[in-house]
A = this chain, B = another copy of it.
């Protein structure tokens, strides 16, 4: 099996991620992680030092494996601002379900943990940049609704695309991934742009 060949550190990271997704970021104890990885609880401490460090390392690992940044790079050569918005939402909407459990754990831990908060903010930067690119494209094409300020539009867009909103719409309201994507497109298109039709 491939997972048995991997080194202990990677195995712990993978198992942590798996448990986070499985339990939606809740109630994942280090003892569970260790047991699932087939090592002692102390081995986790030897490799990561603390729960916080394990979570940060797992986030980095997932980022590496899933590569949101790479996916968003594909948007570089898009011409139309509306296409940019739509493709961004599609990428983001398909990405969230894959990292939701870990994201949720990070979000709840960050309140009391500076290091987690910093690591999370760093991850969020890439979404913020995407939002900035979108609003800048709207401005370039002169289709941003005139009331908006550049910075206010960016921040509102970023907020609308938050994981908490995805959670509320999909998990609480029961929307499917494609419903989330489609309605979010509708929502944001109307919120920020003058429509030409």
The residues of A with any CB-CB pair to B shorter than 8 Å are 26-27, 104, 108, 111-112, 145, 147-148, 152, 155-156, 158-160, 162, 164-165, 168-169, 173, 175, 179, 183, 186-188, 190-192
Main secondary structure of the interface of A (DSSP, over half): helix
Assembly CA distance A111 to B111 (angstroms): 15
Q: State whether A186 and B108 are in contact (beta carbons under 8 Å apart), knowing that A155-B169, A164-B164 are contacts in the complex.
A: no
Task: Say yes or no: A165 contacts B159, CB within 8 Å.
Answer: yes
The residues of B that contact A152 with a CB separation of less than 8 Å are 179, 183
Chain copies in the assembled complex: 2
Besides A155-B173, A159-B165, A162-B165, 11 more A-B contacts (Cβ < 8 Å) are A26-B111, A104-B111, A108-B108, A148-B186, A152-B183, A156-B169, A156-B187, A159-B169, A162-B168, A190-B191, A190-B192
Residue of B nearest to A183 (CB): B152
Q: Could you show 15 A-B contacts with beta carbons less than 8 Å apart?
A: A26-B111, A108-B111, A145-B190, A148-B186, A152-B183, A156-B169, A156-B187, A158-B168, A159-B173, A160-B165, A162-B165, A164-B164, A165-B165, A188-B191, A190-B190
The residues of B that contact A155 with a CB separation of less than 8 Å are 169, 173, 175
Task: Say yes or no: A147 contacts B191, CB within 8 Å.
Answer: no
Assembly CA distance A49 to B152 (angstroms): 46
Assembly CA distance A38 to B175 (angstroms): 48
The residues of B that contact A173 with a CB separation of less than 8 Å are 155, 159
Task: Say yes or no: B112 contacts A27, CB within 8 Å.
Answer: yes
Assembly CA distance A145 to B158 (angstroms): 23
